[in-house]
Structure 1
Amino acid sequence: MTTSTAPSPAVVAEPAFGLLLDVDGPIASPVSRTVAIASIAQDLADMANQGIPVIFNTGRSDDFIAQQVVPPLREAGLRHGTPVFTISEKGAVWAEVTPEGLGEIHIDEELRLPTALGDEVRDMVVERFSGHMFFDETKRAMISVEQRTDVDNDDYLAVQPDFDAAIPLLLDKHDVDQVRIDPTIISTDVEHERLGKDLGAARALELLSARGITPQSWFTMGDSRTDYAMASWLHERGHQVSHVDVRPADGVPETAHPVLTSDTGAIHDDAGAEFLSRWARSLG
């Protein structure tokens, strides 16, 4: 489908719900690192075109969103003026998402790690770990390495602890504190401790408030325990929110808000596609 030439949608001041979505897992396949299920982009574009806020709250870079997420949305007919944003690098970087790409890139400079530290991590990856992982050159604030797509996940996970264990020595060498080491099933992020999905949720509300948009409720979605922070943050501030866990095998914690999982046992982007289609249909 080509980009729609219909007029830009009117702003819906109080949409029925807003979507705050992790990208790896629920939207992009953790295997191919692409939006591999066509209905995902179509349902997201259809909801956004009806005024539903769609906000990607991800550890991924803005470049990943521009390269892997925007093209499928454009092909699905995403229109201008829709309330779609990316909050990347766990709250450090944010931008509007448009059919042509991303708008102005905003960076919180207080949360950017030193360039010299990133350079040394890159050198370490090349010298010791290049057979299993690569250094993410697209990150602007945090430092990330990721499993190579030609490497089996079990093999990557076997060496990931060695990489993680080497980071504190580099932090001491560069006299860097207030840093968190956050491993996932396909990557490790080295990041300022203020970064997180809760910070992303706060930025999401700021972006919508600037447009005069207040969703009546929220759905959040993710594939790890850290993704629960966005739903908890919203709930603690009085918002009605349900969180979708697309990888509940890690265990579903006790929460003060509803937690949803696939009725069919689907995981990752298969589960994400199920819920997105359900929400899109609910709009009629």
Structure 2
Amino acid sequence: MIKCIASDMDGTLLNSTQTISEENKEAILKAQAQGIEFVVATGRSYQEATYVLAEAGLKCPVIGVNGAEVRSKDGEVLAATPISKELARKVAAKLVEKDVYFEVYTDKGAYTIDADKAVSILVDIVVSANPEANVKEIVEAAGARIRDGLIHTVEDYEILFASDDYQIYKFLAFDFDADKLEEANESLAELDNLAVSTSGHENLEITNKNAQKGIALASFVEAKGIELSETMAIGDNFNDVSMFEAAGRSVAMGNAGSYIKSLCDAVTATNNEHGVAKAILEVLLNDIN
């Protein structure tokens, strides 16, 4: 019997307008009412994840920043796996050398040195992945990252690296030039103790090698007295693979690529067709083991 459901956010729980549909919300509430632990497992910072959850009227634990941080339903930090400051400087230097734009995720949220680019890149990514979506709505949603303080602007990332007030959780690198991204990936491979994944063709997600969704999910359910065999994971991309491998039941979104689908036990509907709700209701109705 499934006792814990872990869901990715972008491309999974969120639709193309970066919101949680009423259908997904109701399915989550129904699962929670039946005593099932629902946890978000996302590449987003805690601040960005809870912003969207709060808009939908939902509250749950968050495995954030690809597993670099785990927080309780009430926001208490349960676990953190940062990148050392020395290693962070080396990562930044390699990305700068390859002329790849990046943002830095910390325990106090995400940071950029170019606010306009932070918005425009997100718009380009969402539009390219959802060509049928309303561009005006996407621009409005992307702009909220800056307006609502979900991503902060800093003059120099060294301010974060030099201060004891910040833990460095993740680098999120973007470029629409696939060759340039691959060169950056190869350069990063020269560094030890890193995990490099992706949540889209145009990005790299760089964390501590032990900061992965699957590792964080395993620790989370163990603390809850739940077996991994009693856990279902839902996602759509490569940064969800470790979670698929850990969970007893893995579900790929209908909008996932063919390789991701091949790794999973089941495929649900797309993120614009309330695929998370359908996966949850299937479990509730059929008592899937």
Paired residue type of 1:104: V
* CA offset digits 1:250-279 (Å, max 9, x no partner): 235766xx71113xxx32352223223444
* CA offset digits 1:145-178 (Å, max 9, x no partner): 9882332538x87424413423554776xxx422
- Unpaired segments ≥5 residues, structure 2: 113-117, 130-173
C-alpha root-mean-square deviation of aligned residues, in Å?
3.9
Of residues 224, 233, 237, the one that matches 2:237 is 224
CA distance in 2, matches of 1:63, 1:122: 25
- In the alignment, which residue of structure 2 is the partner of 1:242? 249
Structure 1 position 64 matched with structure 2 position 80: no
User: 1:32-111 alignment to 2 at 5 Å?
Assistant: 32=17, 34-74=18-58, 84-98=60-74, 102-104=75-77, 106-109=79-82
The runs of at least 4 aligned residues of structure 1 exceeding 6 Å deviation read: 110-113, 141-147
Aligned residues: 232
TM-score, normalised to structure 1, is: 0.64
Paired residue type of 2:180: D
User: 1:1-284 alignment to 2 at 5 Å?
Assistant: 16-29=2-15, 31-32=16-17, 34-74=18-58, 84-98=60-74, 102-104=75-77, 106-109=79-82, 114-117=87-90, 120=93, 128=99, 135-140=102-107, 148-151=121-124, 152-153=127-128, 158-166=176-184, 168-169=186-187, 176-185=191-200, 187-209=203-225, 217-234=230-247, 241-246=248-253, 247-251=255-259, 259-262=265-268, 266-270=269-273, 271-279=275-283
Contact 1:27/1:40 (CA < 8 Å) preserved in 2?
A: yes
Contact 1:220/1:230 (CA < 8 Å) preserved in 2?
A: yes
CA distance in 2, matches of 1:215, 1:178: 25
CA distance in 1, matches of 2:108, 2:219: 16
- Greater helix share, structure number: 2
1:220 aligned counterpart, secondary structure: strand
* CA offset digits 1:36-95 (Å, max 9, x no partner): 412212321232233210122222221221212233134xxx5xxxxx311112322010
CA distance in 1, matches of 2:85, 2:25: 31
CA distance in 1, matches of 2:237, 2:21: 20
Residues 161/24 of structure 1: CA separation in 2 closer, same or farther (3 Å cut) = farther
Paired residue type of 1:204: F
- Unpaired segments ≥5 residues, structure 1: 1-14, 79-83, 235-240
Paired residue type of 2:249: S
TM-score, normalised to structure 2, is: 0.63
Paired residue type of 1:108: T
